[in-house]
A and B are shown apart, each in its own frame.
Chain A
Amino acid sequence: MDNSIWISILGFLATVVLAFTVGVFYGGFVRKITARIQNRVGPPVYQNFFDIIKLYSKKTAVHHGWMQHLGPAFAITASVTSLMFIPVLNGQGWIWFENLNFKGDLIFLIYMMVFGSLGMALGAGQTGNPHSAIGVSRGLSQMVGYEIPWVLALVAIMMQAHTTSITGLLDYQNANNTWMMFESPLAFVAALMAMLGMFHYAPFDVPFAPAELASGPGSEFGGKYLALMMTSGSIFAFVKLVLIVDIFMGGASNLIMLVVKTFLLYMIPVLYGIVSPRYRTEQSIRYFWGWPTFIGILGVLYVVFIR
């Protein structure tokens, strides 16, 4: 067999393992930081790891039908496929993390990232749990909110770099020796505000709302399903962080820089969330259609007329 196939398979595995590890540890850090701010001791950083391993070994007793089996499968498909199309590193380390970087672009990725939540929502829908349905309804509504500033930001930078591909944006930043967040700061601010919604931390945790919805869409999923959802969630968090690092912060040339940048970025929604109460859904939507959208529009105008 051709050597390159083995490299791509190993590269695929390496990328997934990296994303999983980083994502899970970030989850652990978040729990620790939250605990320290709330003046608790908190679980150890590796607690999420143990949780996932434990859950994978659990047996599931009941199901509500086919879609419930397929929901988490849709979710993991979306996160891993999105991961395949995002450059993890620029410069060295290409061979291992290249995967399908050159085969897709940002517009494709926007849609690919929705695939999982919609599949998950279908799985949650079949369980018939009203909490799940309410959670899905809230989550999708909120998504319409934050997608607008997010797309505005993306349009601004795509117009500026005259490319829609992520590798193209990386090349643009490398060639001009700058970061997109300095090139079009307004777009970056809009993207950051949209990111608050994308990570679903407070005040935008309306779809999961532990206090009212019993964790919403996921409430009927336990054991292996929950483990797969947690895996997918960890990978997806990593995907979103790396994407923003790639398109706004010039990517990362090695793993340490990657961890530093993504971690700093991740702290924005986390720290903002810990000290915030929860919005109502319509407040959340209106929030995103207010200042973030306005800044996003300014960002587009800035790119079009000033640069």
Chain B
Amino acid sequence: MNSLFLIILILMGGAVLAYIAKKVNPMLSSIVSFISIASAAAVFFLMTDRESVILHIGGFELQWGLNAYSWVFGAMVISMATFASLYSIAYMKGKDRLGYFNLNFTLSVAAMMGILFSMDWISFFIFWEIMTWSSFLIIVYNGISEGKIGIKYMIFSAIGGYSMLMAMVITKSQIDSFLIADLISSFSSMSLGLQALIGVLFLIAFSVKSAVMPLHVWAPRAYADSPMSYTSIFSGLLSKMGVFGLGIMLISVFSKTTNGNIFVYSEVLAWLGAITGVIATFYAIIQTDAKRLLAYSSVAQLGYIVVGLAIGTKLSVMAAIFMAIMHAIFKGTLFMAVGAVEKQTGTTDMTKLGALIRKMPWTFVASLMSIIALAGIPPLGGFVGKWMLYESMITSDHYFLIIMTFLSSTAAFLYSYRFLFGIFLGQEEKEFENVKEAPAIMVIPMIILAGSLFFFGVFPGYIFEPIANGMEYLGMGQVDWNMTVLSNGWGNHVDTLSIVNSILTIFGIAFIFLGLKNRKKTRYVTTKDIHTGGEIPTENENLTYAVDFYKPFERAIEPAMKRKMDFYYNKFGEGIETLFDFVRRLYTGNGQTYALYVVIFLVILLIFSEQIFF
């Protein structure tokens, strides 16, 4: 059997089996889900043939295949999903409606793989909608103001879905083919207006999923209020499907426009991405809930990825896809860590939590590594992506874009620290005295993923290779890469190996000198035993600094935060309501009025009949 077909079949079958297995034992449902995803991963990585498969369904010809570009995303999706579903076994233990959850969990993985395999727009759209629906059902799973969040998500997904459908239909009417490859090859022969129309419609469709401003408003709450084991793939992988589509559009399709390589929307999109980054980062800074903080941070990080894709040089696209993969890993890990904290303590409110580092050391280590990668600090993977992005911006003369990106990524240090401090550091709280480390089955995926961040930071070449192949498939030509040396268009380079050597050597010396030597000689004291200017804090005195952590910064950025995007959408909604209210008034319910309308209509017909009918 064809491997692609097999993968989809395993995942779809696993979804159904997981639902049925719930009747036997709730735990079994999660395990079935994990096994099906893991075996699909095994099939995916052992697959040697990449031949396409053609299905005939209802007069349509669905064509599936795997190319070098979708392989990159496929590998990311299936391996992250495996870890997330392993984590999910322990995280979802004891919750109700597990069959429902696991069905949708596995189904969204299947849908994502389906999107990546699709070679025609029909199957692309079908899987896209399956993905949207299964994620919608999980968003409402927790039941936290599902009306508001779910509807917001649904409306924006519908906008995206209908845009895509419209673009597909227009494409079909023009070139009489649903194949993605045909759109790419015949795009240059279309008229300029049509190119713009199709382009914008597809951009809207993919921007919704990758949460580009102003289509991002669904994302923060949707990410924050789903179960964490799902959010780790929701924010890490589902949003990358938008990136996947944007990649195809921006690189393969728009480079074929008749007005040359530079497509004006790319610049607009790059700026939208950068603005998304800044605004979302500011919002992440003022959050007090760890989940919301990470959700806003996801939106911001997706902003960088969109910037990289939109700039469209070899280096920037490489950076964007690299960052997409890194983001999937570290944000997945962080959401898992928050989930572990939530499971063990029952809250994710950073003003309540504190000093969990001694209780949950492994979760802390995983979070620390992910946060370092998120902040883009060498030598972890996040740095590689950030570096390439900045260099590509400088070498392609996007000098103000780089400032916007830099503003958001420097401000990202604020929420990065807030996250670690709010949960793991600071004053010890009585309430959380007896908290234990999360179960091993939750910790292991986190640690493995965090370790991979370090590995890919030192040897980014292992990821560069598939990305370079994928970019070559998209038509960017030969892309140079090196296992440990990053270089930009001006010939400047950074050697990750010497950075790591230097850091590890010096850190090792300092660690032995301070950490190991002093640890034995000193004794541990509680966080009440501190310098307080002579006063001795009593037992119940609260020394926690957690509320309004960045108040001064909030004051400084006040003007930028006055209006949320929601405000404009609400105003728009109110305007529409007023309009419809006016329309409603036409229906008075009085037969005489309706008769009058008929008369007026006839009069208009009579007067303008010449213009209308001839």
Contact = CB atoms under 8 A, between A and B. Distances in A.
B500 to A, nearest CB: 10
B420 interface: yes
Interface in B409-451: 410-411, 413-414, 416-417, 420-421, 425-428
Nearest to A223: B518
A190 to B, nearest CB: 12
B426 A80 contact: no
Interface centre among A121, A145, A155, A225 (most CB of B within 10 A): A155
B514 A114 contact: no
Contacts of A163: 490-492
B529 A148 contact: no
Contacts of A64: 524-527, 530
A112 B530 CA distance: 31
Given A104-B494, A125-B426, A65 B530 contact: no
A129 B200 CA distance: 53
A74 B507 contact: yes
Contacts of B584: none
A59 interface: yes
Contacts of A84: 502
A158 B391 CA distance: 10
Contacts of B391: 107, 164
A111 interface: yes
Contacts of B292: none
Contacts of A158: 394
Interface string B482-505: 000000101111110011001100
A200 interface: no
Contacts of B425: 67, 122, 125-126, 128
Interface string A66-104: 110110111011001100100000000000000010011
A222 B507 CA distance: 20
B553 A148 contact: no
Interface centre among B411, B417, B556 (most CB of A within 10 A): B556
Contacts of B386: 111
B514 A111 contact: no
Interface string A139-168: 011011101100110011011001111001
A229 B155 CA distance: 54
A209 B438 CA distance: 39
B573 to A, nearest CB: 34
A164 B377 contact: no
Nearest to B355: A128
A136 interface: yes
Contacts of A145: 556
Contacts of B555: 282
A66 B515 contact: yes
Contact of B421 (A59, A72, A133): A133
Interface string A213-228: 0100001100011001
Contacts of B525: 62-64
Nearest to B548: A137
B495 A104 contact: yes
Contact of A72 (B368, B397, B410, B510): B510
Given A151-B402, A164-B490, A300-B399, A129 B503 contact: no
A285 B556 contact: yes
A73 B426 contact: no
Contacts of A105: 492-494
A159 B399 contact: yes
A138 interface: yes
A228 B361 CA distance: 25
A152 B403 CA distance: 7
Contacts of A285: 552-553, 556
Contacts of A263: none
B552 A141 contact: yes
B421 A76 contact: no
Contacts of B503: 77, 81
Contact of A104 (B414, B428, B499): B499
Interface centre among A100, A164, A297 (most CB of B within 10 A): A164
Contacts of A138: 552
Contacts of A134: 545
A43 interface: no
B522 interface: yes
A141 B556 contact: yes
B563 interface: no
B522 A108 contact: no
A122 B367 CA distance: 13
Contact of B387 (A107, A136, A144, A162): A107
B313 to A, nearest CB: 15
A111 B375 CA distance: 9
A130 B492 contact: no
Contact of B376 (A111, A129, A152, A219): A111
B597 interface: no
Contacts of B406: 147-148, 151
A125 B531 contact: no
Contacts of B544: 130
A100 B502 contact: yes
B543 interface: yes
A70 B426 contact: no
Contacts of A100: 495, 498, 502
Contacts of A306: none
Contacts of A234: none
A164 B552 contact: no
Interface string B313-327: 000000000000000
Nearest to A131: B531
A64 B525 CA distance: 6
Given A128-B426, A148-B403, A69 B414 contact: no
A288 to B, nearest CB: 10
A281 interface: yes
Interface in B514-550: 514-515, 518-519, 521-533, 543-545, 549-550
A46 interface: no
B506 interface: yes
Nearest to B553: A141
A77 B524 CA distance: 25
Contacts of A136: 417, 421
Interface centre among A105, A141, A224, A282 (most CB of B within 10 A): A141
A147 to B, nearest CB: 5
Contacts of B416: 118
A81 B377 CA distance: 13
B68 interface: no
A31 interface: no
Contacts of B358: 65
A281 B550 CA distance: 10
A92 to B, nearest CB: 24
A185 B390 CA distance: 23
Contacts of A122: 368, 417, 420-421, 425
Interface centre among B416, B428, B552 (most CB of A within 10 A): B552
Nearest to B382: A111
Contacts of B427: 128, 130
Contact of B357 (A67, A133, A159): A67
Given A63-B522, A105-B492, A144 B506 contact: no
Given A162-B490, A300-B400, 12 more contacts: A64-B527, A67-B357, A73-B507, A103-B494, A107-B391, A129-B543, A141-B414, A151-B402, A165-B493, A168-B492, A219-B531, A220-B530
14 contacts: A64-B525, A64-B530, A70-B515, A77-B510, A100-B495, A105-B494, A108-B499, A111-B387, A112-B377, A125-B420, A133-B426, A141-B556, A228-B513, A304-B397
Interface of B: 355, 357-358, 361, 368, 372, 375-378, 383, 386-387, 390-391, 394, 397, 399-400, 402-403, 406-407, 410-411, 413-414, 416-417, 420-421, 425-428, 488, 490-495, 498-499, 502-503, 506-507, 510-511, 513-515, 518-519, 521-533, 543-545, 549-550, 552-553, 555-556
- The 3 lowest CB-CB distance pairs between A and B, nearest first, are A128-B527, A281-B552, A125-B425
